Amino acid sequence: MRNVAVDAPLTAASQGLASCHLCLKLAAANQQRCPRCGAALHLRKSNSLERTLALLLTACVLYIPANVLPIMVTDQFGQPTPSTIIGGVVLLIDMGSVAIAAVIFFASVMIPVSKLAMMFYLCWSVRKGPAETVRQRTVLYRITEFIGKWSMIDVFVVAILVALINLSNLLVIRPGAAAMAFAGVVIVSMLAAESFDPRLMWDQREKSDE
Amino acid sequence: MNLEGFLACPSCDVLFDISTLEDGESAHCSRCGHFLSTYRADATQRVIAYTSSALMLLALACSYPFMSFKASGLESVMTLPQTALNLWHYGMPGLAFLVAAFIIFIPALVLVLMLALNVALLFERDCDWLRPVGRLIYWLQNWSMVEVFFIGVLVSLVKIGHMATVIMGLSFWAYALFSLFFVLSLAGLDRAQYWQRIEALQS
Ligand SMILES: [Zn+2]
Ligand SMILES: [Zn+2]
């Protein structure tokens, strides 16, 4: 591993260059399209903060039905038992599977909630954040970006159980509406992470240095 | 200034020269620590090997039973496409579509496109479709959830393991290996290096 730094940090923007978000090509910032791959070229992601905040709010709204509605319904001997995400975790603890309850709790509750909280904090910090924490905030952003799709575990678990447990009158598992809402939360918050531009935080720090 | 071999850190915009990387070396941003690029002289051959293995394993994983579940003398067998099809059957076509896309269609499409791109690069063929295919690969790769699904399978196993006997089918093992090769294929497809090669081929 090697750092290939130039001595003083020289940014692309300070040289009038935009970096293509798709192929990383450097091109004059006044061009419309990337000369290498043809993607739209922007100095910074367009309307990054507004788009990120709008998507975050959408995710928050979707998070309500995702938790209130049942994520799956278990039909045992024709008797339907709906269960919510939290209900499923509680049931697992009651049955003694604490480790698996922890995994589900982590993936379905901790990750989406902390991801939304972290993204809100990052948006706020672009204008108001302390300049000395910008590197930590960049790492925080990379973490939110990385963990995003792991919240889909619970949706996949529902899809698998629905496909696997299908013993006609004895035991059948059906999907609940919360599964769709929860998939929505994951997708919308992944889009939010994608629209956030961490370079805005560094731009802010450079401005405050001057 | 000559921009050949330079890129800007996607996290903090600092300029770096990655043209001096040697075989097996990676570069990280010195200001924010973000990964920039890794150079491997044999990337094309590796990615062709990984993607073609992954495609064969995915075909296997879709054609055999994934898991079966036995309780009170009854048995139900699940195949990989059924994880999506049964959701459709229960009146959730949107979710069925998403699940199928995340675990089968997007990964399969990304693999086919990666294979085509790497074969073109191997034979140094300049084709018109290289740029759109490259764009599609890097746009789609964030939306494949192969490894997430595999962890979902393991969680489901623990969740129902005590209720009944669960037997893994051939397809389960094929999907496990497929996940591994899929992750390796994507890791081999370094963004900066591949686009530099596509550009070199077209000029
Ligand atoms: Zn580009
Ligand atoms: Zn950086």
Q: Among residues B182, B198, B67, B30, which one has the least CA distance to residue A23?
A: B198
How much is the mean pLDDT over chain A? 89
Give the mean model confidence (pLDDT) for residues A6-16.
78
Looking up tokens 């921009």 gives: B3
Q: Looking at the partner chain, which of B30, B34, B151 has a beta carbon nearest the beta carbon of A5?
A: B30
Report the 3 state secondary structure along chain B: CCCCCEEECCCCCEEEECCCCCCCCEEECCCCCCEEEECCCCHHHHHHHHHHHHHHHHHHHHHCEEEEEEECCEEEEEEHHHHHHHHHHCCCHHHHHHHHHHHHHHHHHHHHHHHHHHHHHHCCCCCCCHHHHHHHHHHHHHHCCHHHHHHHHHHHHHHHCCCCEEEECHHHHHHHHHHHHHHHHHHHCCHHHHHHHHHHHHC
Long-range CB pairs of A43-47 (<8 Å, 24+ gap) are A43/A13, A43/A18, A44/A13, A44/A197, A44/A199, A44/A200, A44/A203, A45/A21, A45/A195, A45/A196, A45/A197
pLDDT band at A102 (very low <50, low <70, confident <90, very high): confident
ipTM comes to 0.92
Say yes or no: B193 contacts chain A, CB-CB below 8 A.
Answer: no
C-alpha B152 to ligand 1 mean position (Å)? 35
Residue B3 and residue A28 in contact, taking contact as beta carbons nearer than 8 Å: no
Model pLDDT for residues B147-179, shown as the tens digit of each residue: 999 999 998 888 887 777 889 999 999 999 999
Nearest-ligand number for the alpha carbon of A201:
2
Say yes or no: B19 contacts chain A, CB-CB below 8 A.
Answer: no
CATH fold of A47-208 reads Butyryl-CoA Dehydrogenase, subunit A; domain 3 (1.20.140)
- Residue A1 in this model has a pLDDT that exceeds 50: no
Domains of chain B: 1-39 (no CATH), 43-202 (1.20.140)
Q: Please, what is the angle between helix B146-160 and helix A153-164, to 10°?
A: 60
C-alpha A106 to ligand 1 mean position (Å)? 37
Per-residue pLDDT of chain B (203 residues), as tens digits, is 567 889 999 999 999 999 889 999 999 999 999 999 999 999 999 999 999 999 999 999 999 999 998 887 888 899 999 999 999 999 999 999 999 999 999 999 999 999 999 999 999 888 889 999 999 999 999 899 999 999 999 988 888 877 778 899 999 999 999 999 999 999 999 999 999 999 988 77
Model pLDDT for residues A153-169, shown as the tens digit of each residue: 989 999 999 999 888 77
- What is the model's pLDDT at position B147? 93
C-alpha B192 to ligand 1 mean position (Å)? 10
Q: Quick count: other Cβ atoms within 10 Å of Cβ B77? A: 16
**Chain A nearest-CA residue for B129:** A37
Looking up tokens 């939360």 gives: A185
Contact A4 B82 (CB under 8 A): no
Looking up tokens 């997430």 gives: B148
Q: Looking at the partner chain, which of B16, B158, B166 has a beta carbon nearest the beta carbon of A5?
A: B16
Q: Which of A14-18, A46-50, A100-104, A186-190 has the lowest mean pLDDT?
A: A100-104
Shortest alpha-carbon distance between residue B182 and chain A (Å): 16
- Residue A17 in this model has a pLDDT that exceeds 80: yes
- Predicted TM-score (pTM) of the model is 0.91
- What is the model's pLDDT at position A8? 58
**Chain B nearest-CA residue for A8:** B14
Q: Among residues A101, A203, A196, which one has the least CA distance to residue A148?
A: A196
